[in-house]
């Protein structure tokens, strides 16, 4: 398709909204604000060591006990500033903020909640490997909208199946925005001449079968038997029970792994393990597992804890961690069967 004929993100959203004659346009406006935050973060990331402030080490510790990079903090700030003013939000929550963010009194409050990981894979920043931002949009409870009261943690503890929209931006060789408003998954690429996201991937579907897996195997001695069985069978290749050879990838940016899987299939696992028995997994349910799970399910793939669909899990805390397996349907279902079998 010639570049000039490709819809922009704005055009795509307006055309989607025509399907719902009564819709207010608030969701579209919110998604556009998020896309502007992502463009601003893409610019910051692209400057690398030349970025004003790059010498700033960051160094504070977030609620997860991770040392924040300066760009984690800057990206969080860009999301907050770009989304707080519009009147579409009742509140926000982020990896980098321990408590829910209250919309300041100078701005109106709205009916949505925005939950985000402002920079995913930030341990890769020093080595210039692809990172991204992940976001999830939920409806605020009716009573919050009616009263306009401050949001509390419990308002955000909704199963992922209730997401209204979810997506991610990818800051790689090109900058992309991948989005679902519950009607399939579409991908946009940033046109640097226009400064606009243009529709380049109108219908993303994940192949049902795959021969590629992604897992941090340095944790293998801590894995549970079903995960060990699955990976051993992949490694056994053509002469093993799977009868085919598998390839492996590990980028350590979940958002980049999710994107690869959307493009060509595969499976990603960050299972719970015995390394730290207190933790259920590494990735966070509300702003990592749920939005990526929503995208996967909307693209015909699956997202699971190994034991149940991730989108059905009732969250118990804002920063809750969870075991996560997602990707090609038949591989995820196989991993779930191994969990049911106990190995
Ligand atoms: P974040 O940078 O937002 O804290 O998330 C990092 C996550 C995820 O992107 C990645 O898959 C995983 O951490 C990498 O974990 P390992 O360091 O254990 O490989
Ligand atoms: Mn982090
Ligand atoms: Mn992350
Ligand atoms: Mn992060």
* Per-residue model confidence as pLDDT tens digits over 221-273: 999 999 999 999 999 999 999 999 999 999 999 999 999 999 999 999 999 99
Range list of H helices, the chain: 9-17, 26-47, 70-83, 142-147, 153-156, 225-236, 254-264, 290-298, 329-341
Which pLDDT tens digit goes with each residue over 18-56? 888 888 899 999 999 999 999 999 999 999 989 988 888
d(CA 28, CA 31): 5
The pLDDT value recorded for residue 19 is 83
Higher model confidence: residue 330 or residue 1? Answer: 330
CA distances, 97 to each of 79, 105, 118, 184, 240 (Å): 12, 19, 10, 30, 46
72 lines ligand 1 (CB under 6 A): no
Binding site per annotation, positions: 95, 117, 119-123, 216, 288
State pLDDT tens for residues 275-294: 877 768 999 999 999 999 99
Q: How far is the CA of 21 from the centre of ligand 3 (A)?
A: 36
Specify the pTM: 0.97
Q: How many angstroms is it from 60 CA to the middle of ligand 1? A: 18
Would you state the pLDDT for residue 3?
62
Q: Of ligand 1's atoms, which has the minimum distance to the CA of residue 64?
A: 4
């Amino acid at each position: 398709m010639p570049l000039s004929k490709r819809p922009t993100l704005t055009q795509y959203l307006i055309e989607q909204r025509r399907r719902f004659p009564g819709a207010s346009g608030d969701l579209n406006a919110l998604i556009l604000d998020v896309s502007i935050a992502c463009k601003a973060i893409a610019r910051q990331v692209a400057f690398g060591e030349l970025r004003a402030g790059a010498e700033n080490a960051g160094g504070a510790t977030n609620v997860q006990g991770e040392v924040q990079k300066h760009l984690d903090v800057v990206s969080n700030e860009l999301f907050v500033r770009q989304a707080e003013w519009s009147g579409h939000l009742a509140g926000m929550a982020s990896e980098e903020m321990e408590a829910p963010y209250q919309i300041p009194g100078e701005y109106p409050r709205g009916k949505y909640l925005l939950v985000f990981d402002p920079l995913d894979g930030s341990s890769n920043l020093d080595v210039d490997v692809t990172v991204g931002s992940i976001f999830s949009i939920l409806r605020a409870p009716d009573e919050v909208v009616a009263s306009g009261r401050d949001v509390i943690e419990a308002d955000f503890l909704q199963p992922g199946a209730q997401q209204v929209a979810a997506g991610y931006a990818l800051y790689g060789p090109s900058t992309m925005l991948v989005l679902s408003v519950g009607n399939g998954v579409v991908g946009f690429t940033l046109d640097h001449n226009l400064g606009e996201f243009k529709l380049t991937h109108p219908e993303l579907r994940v192949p049902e079968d795959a021969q590629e897996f992604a897992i941090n195997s340095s944790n293998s001695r801590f894995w549970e038997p079903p995960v060990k069985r699955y990976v051993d069978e992949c490694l056994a290749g053509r002469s093993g029970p799977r009868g085919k050879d598998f390839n492996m990838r590990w980028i350590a940016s979940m958002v980049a792994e999710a994107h690869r899987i959307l493009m060509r299939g595969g499976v990603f696992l960050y299972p719970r393990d015995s390394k730290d028995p207190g933790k259920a997994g590494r990735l966070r349910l509300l702003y990592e597992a749920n939005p990526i799970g929503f995208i996967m399910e909307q693209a015909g793939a699956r997202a699971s804890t190994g034991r149940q669909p991730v989108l059905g899990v009732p969250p118990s805390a804002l920063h809750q961690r969870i075991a996560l397996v997602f990707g090609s349907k038949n591989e995820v279902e196989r991993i779930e069967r191994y969990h049911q079998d106990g190995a």
